[in-house]
Every structure is written in C-alpha cells, then in structure tokens.
Amino acid sequence: GGGNDDARGDAAAGGARAGAPRWARRFGELPISRRTLDALAHAGFTRLTDIQRAAIPHALAGRDVLGAAKTGSGKTLAFLVPLLEKLWRLRWGRLDGCGALVISPTRELALQIFDVLRAAGCRHDLSAGMIIGGKDYAAEASRIVLMNILVGTPGRVLQHMDQTVGFELTRLQLLVLDEADRLLDLGFDRTLSAIVRALPASRQTLLFSATQTRSVRDLAALSLDRPQYVAVHERA
C-alpha cells in the first residue's frame, strides 16, 4: 500500500474541485488510486485512448457523460476506471451492497466487460458479479445480492429487481449504459426505462454508444442529468 492509497480523500476533493487535467495522455497523469494505476499497468495499459482522454476526467469529476466513439476505441475502460474510483473514494466495502451497475446488450459483451473489470479492479476489495441469466435463476439470485458491482443484460436485471428478495439497488452510486445504440436496436427501450425509473435519482450515469441516433438521444434524455457530451471521431 501507501502512496495514493493513503490520500484518497485528498484525491477525491482535488479531482472534484480542479477536475482531472484535460491534457492527460497517460493513466498516471489522472487523479486515480495507486490500486487502479498498478492494475492497469500490470495489464499493459499506460496511454489513454482518445475517448478515455475525453471522458474520464468528466466522469471522475462526478458528471454524467454521454460518450460516442466507434467500436474498438476503448470505451470499456472509459467507464470502468471512473466506476472503480467512485467506489474507492466513497470507501465502498463488502457490506455496502451494490454501488455500481453496468448494463450491456448481450451476454457476450457483458462477459467481455467483466473480464476487463477483473483486470482493472484486481487490487480493490470489491466484489463483482454478472446478471446474464441462462442457467439457474435461484443460484444467480443468491450470488448477486451481496455484490458491490454488477454487470448484466437488461431483461435479467429488471427480472431480479422485480423478483429477487434482498436484491436492492437503493444505494446505487453509478449506472453505466454501454453500447446504447445496440441496446435500443435489440428492443430494450422499455426495459431500460423501467430500470432507470427504479434507480436512485442521485446516482451518476455514464452512457456510451458507437453511433448517435434519435433513440440514443431519447435514452440519454431519460437517464442523464445535464450530461457532458463527449464524441471522438475518426481522423481523416
């Protein structure tokens, strides 16, 4: 331990006041914990991609973010780094329940996010689980009630919110809607509305999409509060 780990209160306050530097090119230049930084370095991530550079400082400052960047641009860490830092700064612990929920259109994409979360979050003392359905509903229900971070698909998340005794999202701090365009293409708009309406209004929300469509803007209007719009376009 040591280093930044002992100063998370200062880092959080400084980050909120001054904001993370817009010019940051490397993860090491962001006001993030030593734990996250070490895990990222261990996984081979040192330089920020363009969408990470544009989105992470706003997300670390607590703002809602509407992020647009093409597939393969690094959107996963653009939301997972702020997610880990939010719970770290709040000193979120095993007994605090679910602090962050990531919604993904498919099981395969949820699994990919979970793998990146495992790598980036390996130095944190946070539990994480998946809500992707498929096999045993009861087994999934018993696993997810104590998790600090959940990654899931919309239908299954709503089903557990409605039916699973002890599954509470009343303390949720951060919601991520990933691949919003695909979520809507797959017909999840009503499911997402029902989920969003049931979550605490005080939460922070990050919404990422490869494309900007009318329905993505509608979902953003429903789920985000005064969002920072961040778009990264391909260079000519």
Q: What residues make contact with ligand ADP under the rule CB under 6 A?
A: 45, 47-49, 52, 69, 71-77
Least spacing, CB of residue 52 vs Mg ion, in Å: 12
Least spacing, CB of residue 155 vs ligand ADP, in Å: 21
Least spacing, CB of residue 195 vs ligand ADP, in Å: 21
Whose Cβ is closer to Mg ion: residue 147's or residue 183's? 183
Sites for Mg ion among residues 45-104 (CB under 5 A): 75
Whose Cβ is closer to Mg ion: residue 8's or residue 75's? 75
Q: How far apart are CA 149 and CA 31, in angstroms?
A: 21
Whose Cβ is closer to Mg ion: residue 12's or residue 131's? 131
Q: How far apart are CA 158 and CA 217, in angstroms?
A: 22
Which option in Mg ion, ligand ADP, none does residue 74 bind, with CB closer than 5 to 8 A by kind? ligand ADP
Pairing of strands 174-177, 100-103: parallel
By CB under 5 A, how many residues form the interface with Mg ion? 1
Q: How far apart are CA 62 and CA 15, in angstroms?
A: 9
Q: How far apart are CA 231 and CA 139, in angstroms?
A: 40
For 139-177, letters b (16+ CB in 10 Å) and e give ebbeebbebbbbbbbbbbbbbbbeebeebebeebbbbbb
Q: How far apart are CA 62 and CA 64, in angstroms?
A: 7
Whose Cβ is closer to Mg ion: residue 51's or residue 87's? 51
Whose Cβ is closer to ligand ADP: residue 143's or residue 182's? 182
Which option in Mg ion, ligand ADP, none does residue 8 bind, with CB closer than 5 to 8 A by kind? none
Position with the least CB separation from ligand ADP: 76
Which option in ligand ADP, Mg ion, none does residue 62 bind, with CB closer than 5 to 8 A by kind? none
Which option in ligand ADP, Mg ion, none does residue 73 bind, with CB closer than 5 to 8 A by kind? ligand ADP
Calculate ∠ Cα 70-228-11, nearest 5°: 105
Q: How far apart are CA 137 and CA 14, in angstroms?
A: 43
Tokens (6 digits) for 223 = 């789920």
Q: Which residues bind Mg ion (CB under 5 A)?
A: 75
